[in-house]
Structures are given as C-alpha cells and as structure tokens.
Amino acid sequence: MTDNKQIALALTGASGAVYSQRLLDVLFQQGMTVHLMISAAARIVFSDELGWKLPARASDVHKMLVAEYNCQPEQLQVYGEQQWSSPLASGSHQVPTMIVCPCTMGTLSSIAHGSSENLINRAADVMLKENRKLILVPREAPFSAIHLENMLKLARLGVCIFPPNPGFYFKPETLSDLVDFVVARLLDQAGIAHTLMPRWGE
C-alpha cells in the first residue's frame, strides 16, 4: 500500500533549479510530505541559479527550507547522499512517486545502468523494481546518442521522461508563466492536484 500524500524529490546538478523551487512550493501548499535528496552538484547549480546556499548537512537543509517555505517541519524529510538508512533505500517504503528535477545526464545514466552508487540512484532503482512512478526531468542541449539511448531504455521500463519544455500557445508573459506551465504538467504526471493554470479548452 502506498501513501499518496508522500513524494520523493531529487535535485541534481542540471540547470533548471527554478522548476524545483516552484515544485516544492506547490507540494507544500498541497499538504504533501516531501522526501528530499540533493546531489553535491545540485548545491553548486542551486547556488548559481537561485542564490540558495544549501548546507551539506541534511538537518541544516531541513531547517533552511522549512523557514524558506514556512511549511510544517514534518512535511519535509531530507536525506544525505549516502544515507542508506533512509526509507527510500528500500522497497518497503510507501512513497508512490519519485521525481528527479532537474535531472543531469550523469544521474540519468546511473539510473539507466542500475548503479545505485548514491541514495538518489538507489531510490530511483527501488522505484523501478517496485513498479512505482518515476519521473525524470532531463536538461541538456543538444542530446547525444548516449543520452537518447539512456532515455529510450528508461522510457521502455515505464519511466516518464519529462523534458522541461514549456508550450507557448498559452501566451506566457513572464518567466513565472513558463515555469508554471512545466510544473503544472509535471504535477499532472505525478497525479497531484493543482490550480496553477487553466487547462486547454477550459
């Protein structure tokens, strides 16, 4: 049995920190509990793109993000990169969905090859073996044949490959509009209710 109010989120060192920034915002607003993992490279990119100085210690990240989002402390669990004691390291947990946003080509490759060398890779491996929902938000341009082969392999295993490509048919006026387009579609994939933007035809 899984618990639909819980979600795993991994931040890796690809460009696109703003998507996860907004995603966390909506997840907390929706009363979700977020199980958060952060790669070392993500700390660099999030610092560059958002000015977030994410501490190395999980407990310090917890403190920082609870203050940033004003969420309930129990809505956020943060795990270290090698924290094998995390529930996410085992298929016995009840988290139905994991999103990697943004997802580097390196993490995507590790997941495609089942390396399980850090908690992010292991947690994704667990989602695969347990047939749960895994959503990757890969960011690179252009894609090499290696990237495309890895994505095809994962897509054939049921992974949702979700490039952060906003549509322009809804006439975005701000960067936030573009971000919300991507986050809204991402939440749809994860089966999480939201009112970020009207749906086509409504």
Footprint of ligand FMN (CB under 6 A) = 12-15, 39, 41-42, 44-45, 48, 104-107, 139-140
Residue reference for tokens 């129990």: 74
SS3 of residue 8 by DSSP: strand
CB of 111 to ligand FMN, least distance (A): 10
CB of 2 to ligand FMN, least distance (A): 26
Amino acid at 10: A
Q: Which residue, 44 or 152, has its beta carbon nearer to ligand FMN? A: 44
Q: Answer yes or no: are the C-beta atoms of 159 and 128 closer than 8 Å.
A: yes
- CB within 8 Å of 190: residues ≥ 6 apart: 7, 97, 99, 133, 135
CB of 12 to ligand FMN, least distance (A): 3
Which residues share a beta bridge with 10? Answer: 37, 100
Distance CA 31, CA 60 (A): 22
CB of 133 to ligand FMN, least distance (A): 20
Q: Is the peptide bond before 142 cis (omega within 30 degrees of 0)?
A: yes
Q: Which residue, 7 or 120, has its beta carbon nearer to ligand FMN? A: 120
Neighbours of 179 (CB within 10 A): 20
Distance CA 154, CA 160 (A): 8
Q: Which residue, 123 or 192, has its beta carbon nearer to ligand FMN? A: 123
CB of 47 to ligand FMN, least distance (A): 9
Q: Which residue, 15 or 189, has its beta carbon nearer to ligand FMN? A: 15
Among all residues, whose Cβ is closest to ligand FMN? 13
Q: Which residue, 43 or 132, has its beta carbon nearer to ligand FMN? A: 43
